[in-house]
Amino acid sequence: MTSDRAAVIALNALGHIAGDEELLRRFCRESGMDAAGLGAVAEEPAFLGGVLDFMLADEARLLAFCNAHDIPPDEPARARRALPGGEDDA
């Protein structure tokens, strides 16, 4: 998977998170960020990797995202590997 495609998937995941108030609160709590600061880092590849880490950490959350965006459940993991800090980055 290309890093551009991985970034698109991660940005879609971030949009999915932002669209759910409880999920956004949880993401902010776990990442140490506040909602206002997300826009400033939203396109940084390392941050996008963290967004996918958050999605991948919970199967129900991951499946809800994949179903909402009509993507195969293995695609976010493949995207994660293509971003900084992923296995393909090693």
pTM over 0.75: yes
Domains of the chain, residue spans? 3-89
pLDDT given for residue 90 in this prediction: 45
Q: What is the DSSP letter of 88?
A: G
Q: What is the mean pLDDT of residues 70-86?
A: 94
For residue 47, count other CB atoms closer than 10 A to its CB: 18
Query: In this predicted model, what pLDDT tens digit does every residue of 27-41 receive, in sequence order?
Result: 999 988 887 888 788
Q: Using DSSP, state whether 13 is helix, strand or coil.
A: helix
Per-residue confidence (pLDDT) for residue 36, from 0 to 100: 81
Report which residue type is found at 39.
G
The per-residue pLDDT of the chain, averaged, comes to 91
Q: Residue 41 has what pLDDT?
A: 87
CA angle 66, 34, 14 (to 5 degrees): 15
